[in-house]
Chains A and B, each alone.
Chain A
Amino acid sequence: MQISSRQYPHPVLSYYSDDFPNSDFQASLKNSKTPNTYLFDAECVTSSDGIHHLIEERKAKYAFHFECQTTRYRRIFSSFDSSFKFQLPAQDVEGRVQICAFILAVEDIEGYALNEFHPDYDGFGFQIRKGDILALDMERSFYAEKEIDPLRRIPSIFSIQPNRSEEAQAIEVDSSGNKIIIKLAPDNFEYYKTISLNSSLQPLLSSLIVIPALVSILEMLKHEQNNEVDYEECRWYQVILMRLKDFGIEIGSQSFEQESTISIAQKLIGDPLTQSFAALMNLEDEGE
């Protein structure tokens, strides 16, 4: 929000008014980030003993109000401690974000009166309601932008399709084309469609469907030295070749023979097995 200068019904400690002639309030924010969140480190200090006392009594707290014009996101992050940390999910903001720092009342206070008020307020006690602003610092803002990740646009070499033929098996693999097509029986395909919407279950799907397909393909590559079928033409083959190279494995060489296809498959797609177990443990914990 942008607070225009104004008179509050009660004295408010701010840098632009003299309601508290000799006190001040300063809030500072340090920021850093992770791939999905903005991290903030806040430090607040006020020289008004009266307000500080209220905070100690847990009748007031430090708060930062975030508002994003574009996404309309708004929230406060608060604490009774003068130093605290909080996070803002990056997915909730885009464009300009405004931050206001406050000290807010945590509960109603009757007869709010402090020595530090300006003499004009002498003799008056004020009614304060929960959420009222008791102090404020300068506004800040920043521009939230995201990196554009072009690679994410590209699909993988796998394609999952429903198998509509008469005697469809639960799962079949077709590696004759440019993509590796995994055909699922219609029911399985529907299941896959639904479950894949839940991103936390993605490693499970990879383990159930992709690993067996990859293993069978790697086995095939291992043993078909004569290359009856020339896979050189298939795009998926080129991609797998490249990836194997990243791991120092070359098809037809010792390195390929020695390592088990199962473990190669896991390596190739980022070890979904471990992630699957983790996901299952999470499900257990959530009890849902």
Chain B
Amino acid sequence: MIGWNFPSNNYGQITGLNDAGIETFRGNPWDSLAREINQNSCDARIPDSIEPVRVEFEVMNIPSSDFPAKEAYIKMLQESLKYWSDNAKTVAFFKNAVDVMNAEEIKFLKISDYNTTGLTGANQGRQGGWHNLIKSVGSSNKDSKAGGSFGIGKHAPFACSDLRTVFYSTMDTDGVEAFQGVAKLVTHSNDQGEPTQGTGYYGEAIRNEPILQRDRISEMFRRNEVGTDVFIAGFHAEGDWETKVIRSVLESFLVAILDQKLIVKVGSIEINAETLPSILENYTKNEAECLSYPYYEAYTLSNASKFVLENFEGMGEVRMHVLPGKDAPKRVAMVRSTGMKIYDKGSFRTPFKFAGVLIAEGDEINKFLRQIEPPTHTAWEADRHDDPKYAKAVIKKLYAWMNDKIRSITPSDSSEELDVEGLSDYLPDQFDDFQQPIPSLSESEGEKAAPKEIQMQTNDRKSKPNTQHIMNEGDFPSYEQDMEEEEEEYTSPGLEVEGKHTDENPDSEGDKESDGSEEDGDSSSNDNEPDKGEEGPADIEDKAGSLQPETEKKLEPKAAKNLRITQSRIFCIDPAAGKYRVTMQSNEDGYGYVGINILGEVGGEKAKVRAAEQLGEPIDIENEIKLGPVLFDKKDRTVLTITLKDPLRCALEVAVYAN
């Protein structure tokens, strides 16, 4: 039986609206939501995967008729209203909830993750991530590195729901699918008139189990790939919730994103390592309370100081990046290996200002730190440890190391001394022994100043007669070739696949190299292959080259061997159609094959010709570039009319093919 079920409380504890779990987040639900969701998704990352975890926040408006067991739910709301009728706050809440349910559409916030394991063990009773999330309140059995120590993080989404109701849908790595709803509300009278618990479930009523069969899960709630969806029903969308979520992601997950362990999409904005800089500028750089920008600089700028302690107290690696700065906040972000920031450490006594990022990488140190974090994961508190004294000592040592390293930095004051511009012309410091004696200055020393006299040379470009312009197959200025060779090395080295990449999808738009194919340096084929000409002139060259056997003509007359063009004139008679008249003078009689070149400002390419005729008779064109046979008479001029494939008004030249 599928439906809403609020188990009876057996006339025991009554649950009101002030549930402890949700109140923790009331102050800033967006920040908490973002932190908890991203943390849990990061924890669920597929082990050994190099792909980043992806989390997407999307608002949807769903017809209220699609709300699971809508009628029963509304009835429950009204029962709750009745039960708590003398509590103004509760009444207000439920009145609002009923309004939300009675509207045409209900707003949902859907949060999906990808490249995670999904919530496991849904079909196995009590164990596994699924049940831990849904049912238990106390400890979790996730391993130490996972960001969520006590599992209380799951309350955050409820704080963002006007209905305090959230639906979960998952598909795990074994293909097990599950769907269930949780409503964290209040004690009320059920159909049998008994008081219920505050928390109710939507799913299989018996034993409050999830729905496991795919076809019984309504389509909009189904997962199509491994991972988890969280649907926050009656999403309380305050005007700038997106901004708040983005800021939260930036503040808490800066390092995860920079290290490419996490990508977050909020509405249409995607936050990844590449887009991060501009998003930081737009959202947090100029916000006084936001520290992510200085942390970003400390973490990425090339001259920031980096300190690595390979084995901190036998617990693994710890590293810290520090960057002095005039307006820096004097804080260090304390980050664990998932890339999530736990808190900002201050109270440093240094003469200069700086920003820093500390990352606890080692497995052991992460386990230790997780144990001493409160449910909100915003501090490291020694008292939470089984052995507080020991914990205190460890933390103290960590802080001491940090202070030591920071103090070892002397901020450079390169611009603490300046000259007065232009004064050296009048009062130069020329008696300095340390200065190189002037006479020995070589030509290249010193600043360039006034221009020298110039001598003009003229370059006579009297045209060389076209006797020299004999085309061979595949003959063209090497301009395009050079460019293609250089492509290989253009971007970051190490991408030996570049050559390959540029060819694979000649027509694909996204030339950004973010597809996985280039990570392997194994494609040895590239370095040896000259870059293939898939475009422009090189293309034509290759085609021409490959399709041109020496003896191509079947019945056609042989080209006169020593035929050359001694003079030519080409002009455009119809620019819209790309028609040109070509007049040639030859040195011999006979047949010949000609080609036309388009000359650009620099270099050029073979012209593709659509049609050609001589004295009204059409002339064959091979591969769109080789025209012939053309009959030449040395006593007269040969006139052709050609039409270019693309109507273009351009500078041309004509030449004969050697063979």
Residue positions of A touching B, CB distance < 8 A:
1-11, 15-17, 19, 29, 31, 33, 35-38, 90, 99, 118, 120-121, 124, 126-127, 129, 138-162, 178-179, 192-193, 196, 199, 202-203, 205-206, 209-210, 235-236, 238-240, 243, 268-270
Contacts and interface: CB of A to CB of B under 8 A. Distances in A.
A157 B427 CA distance: 6
B452 A146 contact: yes
B456 interface: yes
B448 A146 contact: yes
Contacts of B124: none
A196 B419 CA distance: 10
B216 interface: no
How would you classify the secondary structure of chain A's contact residues: helix, strand, loop or mixed? Answer: mixed
Nearest to B442: A148
B602 interface: yes
A16 B462 contact: yes
A15 B443 contact: no
Instruction: Report, nearest first, the 6 A-B pairs whose CB atoms are least far apart.
Output: A9-B572, A5-B463, A156-B423, A149-B449, A146-B448, A7-B570
Contacts of A90: 450-451
Given A9-B571, A162-B416, A140 B421 contact: no
A145 B652 contact: no
Nearest to B438: A150
Contacts of A192: 418
Contacts of A196: 418, 420-421
B575 interface: yes
Contacts of A149: 446-450
Contact of A38 (B421, B432, B445, B454): B454
B452 A15 contact: no
Nearest to B444: A148
B601 A1 contact: yes
Given A126-B572, A138-B459, A161-B416, A154 B424 contact: yes
Nearest to B466: A5
Given A141-B457, A152-B447, A243 B426 contact: yes
B458 A138 contact: yes
A269 B449 contact: no
Contacts of B447: 148-149, 152-153
A148 B417 contact: no
Interface in B602-659: 602, 649-654
B604 to A, nearest CB: 9
9 contacts: A33-B451, A35-B450, A140-B457, A141-B459, A154-B424, A154-B430, A154-B432, A155-B419, A161-B417
Given A120-B583, A138-B459, A158-B419, A143 B445 contact: no
B546 interface: no
Interface in B431-485: 431-432, 435, 438, 441, 443-464
A142 B457 contact: yes
Contact of B571 (A10, A33, A154, A209): A10
Nearest to B637: A120
B599 A145 contact: no
B495 to A, nearest CB: 27
Contacts of A161: 416-418
Contacts of A159: 417-419
B455 A143 contact: yes
A33 B427 contact: no
Interface of B: 415-432, 435, 438, 441, 443-464, 568-573, 575, 580, 583, 599, 601-602, 649-654
A5 B464 contact: yes
Contact of B569 (A1, A5, A120, A269): A120
Contacts of A203: 422
A205 B456 contact: no
Among B445, B452, B461, max chain A CB count under 10 A is at: B461
B427 A240 contact: yes
B575 A9 contact: yes
A144 B420 contact: no
A234 to B, nearest CB: 10
A238 B431 contact: yes
A232 B320 CA distance: 52
Contacts of A205: 420-421
B427 A158 contact: yes
B3 to A, nearest CB: 70
A270 B199 CA distance: 87
A31 B454 contact: yes
Contacts of A178: 429, 432
A148 B452 contact: no
A140 B571 CA distance: 27
Contact of A138 (B460, B650, B652): B460
A155 B260 CA distance: 48
Contact of B421 (A144, A153, A157, A202): A202
B571 A124 contact: yes
Given A149-B447, A160-B419, A161-B416, A8 B429 contact: no
Contacts of A140: 456-459
B422 A147 contact: no
Given A11-B571, A35-B449, A161-B416, A6 B427 contact: no
A36 B420 contact: no
Contacts of A3: 461
Nearest to A94: B448
Contacts of B427: 156-158, 236, 239-240, 243, 268-269
A268 B428 CA distance: 12
A206 B425 CA distance: 13
Contacts of A15: 462
Contacts of A120: 569, 583
Contacts of B418: 159-161, 192-193, 196
B504 to A, nearest CB: 32
A9 B416 contact: no
B580 to A, nearest CB: 7
Nearest to B418: A160
